[in-house]
Amino acid sequence: MGQGENYYETLISLGDDVRIGFLTVMRDCAFTPAILDANANANANANEPVLQSSLLCDIEMSRVRERFKHAQSMDPQASYAEIQEETGLPMPDVRIGVLDLIGAGLLEKQEYFGGEGHIWPKADLFVTFDADFMDWDPENDARDLAVHLINLDTDQADASEVGPALRWEPRRFNAAAAYLVSARVVQPIEHMGGDAYWPCGFMMGDELLRFVRSL
């Protein structure tokens, strides 16, 4: 486990291939939080002295479990068995469904030694399906978000300020932001020290102006 937030910030800056590969091989507790509770008794790995007094020298355990559990904003993380339990589908259907969503670029899967591996959504999963299952449409929200950003008349914006200004909780805001990022309308600013809003901020240029002009 990294001793500080900048450890994970640096890994994010290296790209997903390097970040995921490195954290998987290292069996990083923040990336695979199940490791923290790997022992069945009260002396779970999370209670090991090295985690309390050395590796966690400037990070609270709650942040490891919640904020850092994927070393970036990729929530939730689940196994095939957990997906089957939640959906009630036969395991072959679960595995084929996951495969289809991976092929569509909506899920990612990472295997690691000594375990089944984990599956997590990419941001485009919420962009694609939120309109069907939630009370908002990310595409429509993205237009409102873009107009708000252009009216700020600046080249950078902080998501923790923009989200509340729109009166959107992170869950709704993040899907709209992911739409703009995926469409390359804005550039994301990412670091591990932020809150639940993703990305932490935006770099904005002529692409945003063109998008708003097209509305």
pLDDT in tens, 24-72: 777 776 666 666 555 544 445 556 655 544 444 444 544 444 443 333 4
Residue type at position 151: N
The highest-confidence range among 10-14, 29-33, 60-64, 167-171, by mean pLDDT, is 167-171
d(CA 139, CA 172): 11
Residue 208, token pair as written in the block:
């945003």
| 135 found inside a domain | yes
Which residue among 121, 137, 152 closes a domain?
A: 121
Residue 74 counted as domain residue: no
pLDDT of amino acid 153 = 94
Predicted TM-score (pTM) of this structure: 0.65
Q: How many domains does the chain have?
A: 3
Can you tell me the distance from the alpha carbon of 213 to that of 215, in angstroms, rounded to the nearest whole number?
Answer: 6
pLDDT at site 39: 52
Residue 73 falls inside a structural domain: no
Q: Domain of residue 202: give its range.
A: 125-213
- Given a cut of 60, whether residue 18 has pLDDT beyond it is yes
Residues 162 and 192 in one domain: yes
Q: Are residues 129 and 209 in the same domain?
A: yes
